[in-house]
Structure 1
Amino acid sequence: MSRAAGRPGAGPGGWAVLAALVVLAVVMLSPFVIVTFNAFKTPAEYAAGGPLTPPQGFHLDAIIDFWNRVAFGEKLWNSFVISGTVAVAAVVLSVLNAYALGIGRVRGRLWILVLFLVANTLPQEALAYPLYYLSKEVGLYDSKLAVILIFTVIQAAFGTYLLSAVLGQFPGEILEAASLDGAGRWRALWTIVVPISRPTLSVLLIFFFIWTWNEFFLPLIFLISNDNQTVPVALGVLQGEKMMDATMSSASALLGIVPAVAFFLIFQRTLTRGITVGAIK
């Protein structure tokens, strides 16, 4: 038997799948490549060659102009603070809720989980006015804290629903052994449940950060001051109110994408390991 024949996926079907994946990857990466090309062009190069030609040099004028025009460093910091705080707070809140629902088995557990599930299905447009009115009443409108609180609750609703199913399968004998050793519920949570559930919690942390980073609608409503705006809001406002040429528009898109992609690549191994491990065994 030849080596090619003995290798899984080496037949025509395997090559067809590989070719399809390559085509799909090219299609998905093409917009990013085009945006990168145009971000490093001068307006004259763009006018002469169009959007599909590679740049003739490495020009940073569009990126520098955009960075200075919107104070992009400040917007980057705002997005990082909001997304990082929401990710950590939502994971902690999800763990506490899921520990009570999945392991504590509180009364009315099923209806509480249904409530969390319904909360995840509500469109943000339906939440905009009640949250706007409430933030006005408590004096948190146009503050990063308001957005942090809102998205912490939104993300924790999904996290609670997911972790409740995971912790519902947690081995009871482990907790019983910890109880016999004198560990209370709080100690058992942080010394046993959380370490064992770390892969799942890591996946939630990464997704919560990326989801919050990409949010646009609610931050657009609640962060009206220029000093409080996040990256997506700054990009949307600039596109809507100020004139930009194609190279600066590409530079803004590139700068908006790169941080989230970099975060994903940095924690790619953690994400892959968490998905592979899956539920608690």
Structure 2
Amino acid sequence: MATEVLPGARHRRGVARWFVLVGAILVAVAILMPFFIMLLNAFKSPLDYSLNGPLSLPHEIYTKGLTTFWNRVDFPQKLLNSIWISGAVAVLGTLLSLLNAYAIGVGRVKGRLLVVSLFLLATMLPQEALIYPLFTMAQQVGLSNSPWSVIIIFTVIQSAFGTYLLASVLGTFPKALLEAAALDGASRWDVLWKVVFPVVRPTLSVLMIFFFIWTWNEFFIPLVMLTTNDTQTIPVALASLQGDRLMDAPTTNAGALVSLLPAVLFFLIFQRTLTRGVTAGAVK
């Protein structure tokens, strides 16, 4: 029998929804405000910035900051470096996470809880505690000032989180599917790619997107490991605009705007994939 909703309760729900909507709008404005200020100052001349401050509208469209940043840091080269490093880490980190989690969650290795705890601990270690041994090892194996040193480091770091996440998912994988595959004569490799992979593919897509964006934004390790201009990434290039005592704010804002566009474009392209992965990534 259907229950009748009282008018007062319906009114209270409507008012609560309006409060939630207003709160969401305020949070969105607070998040977007720094980007709006960056956009204002990216097209403002240094004189206009110094006289009127960062919150004023530009008196004229000033584009020299964009061209100065583009030429000073060799932005196309930095863009290629960031895409190559972030893309390689996204693919390799996701693959390594899948293999590790398959061994832990489905293979049921001994000491599974301890291994997963170690992966969780690895995600908590600060980069400052790791940088000296990593830099020394990179020099010893001949990967000093090589993008491969950053790719290997972040593949391991990102896969620690990916392994922790996927191991908990694969730990609840339906045993009936695994037993049916074993009765059909499938090897462990066949089970991985023909049974497990199709089920967790949405989750892997989410991991790949996160790994790409996280690696794209990394600064400290690329700053230490990549020492020449032709190997550095976009965040390191942005930091090079700031001197000891003086900072060209319009050029820095213009550079931040140009550097942000590839990441935003990547997110918009894969937004539907991210949404599907979040909603359909659970093992049924």
Matches within 5 A, 1:188-207: 188-207=191-210
- Aligned mates of 1:50, 1:119 — CA distance in 2: 44
Matching residue of 1:14: 17
1:9–1:15 CA contact under 8 A, matched in 2: no
1:83–1:210 CA contact under 8 A, matched in 2: yes
Matching residue of 2:100: 97
Matching residue of 2:225: 222
When residues 242 and 253 of structure 1 are mapped into structure 2, their CA distance, relative to the original with a 3 A threshold, is farther
SS at match of 2:243: helix
Q: 1:256 aligns with which of 241, 259, 262?
A: 259
Structure 2 residue 182 is matched with structure 1 residue 176: no
Amino acid at match of 2:210: F
TM-score, normalised to structure 1, is 0.93
Matching residue of 2:121: 118
TM-score, normalised to structure 2, is 0.92
- Aligned mates of 1:51, 1:191 — CA distance in 2: 56
1:92-145 per-residue CA deviation (whole Å, 9 max, x = no partner) reads: 001001001000101222221121111111111110111111111111111100
**Stretches (4+) displaced over 4 A:** 4-10, 241-244
Q: 1:163 aligns with which of 162, 166, 176?
A: 166
When residues 8 and 204 of structure 1 are mapped into structure 2, their CA distance, relative to the original with a 3 A threshold, is farther
Structure 2 residue 74 is matched with structure 1 residue 71: yes
1:218 deviation in Å?
0.8
Q: What residue ranges of structure 1 are gaps of 5+ in the alignment?
A: none
Amino acid at match of 2:228: S
- Aligned mates of 1:241, 1:227 — CA distance in 2: 23
SS at match of 1:182: coil
Moved more, 195-204 or 257-266: 257-266
1:44-81 per-residue CA deviation (whole Å, 9 max, x = no partner) reads: 43345432233345442211111001001111110110
Amino acid at match of 1:275: V
1:5 deviation in Å?
8.6
- Aligned mates of 2:33, 2:248 — CA distance in 1: 21
Structure 2 residue 229 is matched with structure 1 residue 233: no
1:180 deviation in Å?
2.2
1:90–1:156 CA contact under 8 A, matched in 2: yes
1:5–1:11 CA contact under 8 A, matched in 2: no
Moved more, 126-135 or 251-260: 251-260
- Percent of aligned pairs sharing the same letter: 57
Q: 1:149 aligns with which of 152, 159, 169?
A: 152
Matching residue of 2:89: 86
Matching residue of 2:32: 29
Matching residue of 1:269: 272
- Aligned mates of 1:5, 1:39 — CA distance in 2: 51
Matches within 5 A, 1:31-46: 31-46=34-49
Moved more, 84-93 or 245-254: 245-254
2:94–2:204 CA contact under 8 A, matched in 1: yes
- Aligned mates of 1:88, 1:5 — CA distance in 2: 54
Q: What residue ranges of structure 2 are gaps of 5+ in the alignment?
A: none
- Aligned mates of 1:210, 1:167 — CA distance in 2: 25
- Aligned mates of 1:34, 1:213 — CA distance in 2: 22
Amino acid at match of 1:181: D
Moved more, 53-62 or 205-214: 53-62
SS at match of 1:139: coil
- Aligned mates of 1:77, 1:6 — CA distance in 2: 57
Amino acid at match of 1:19: V
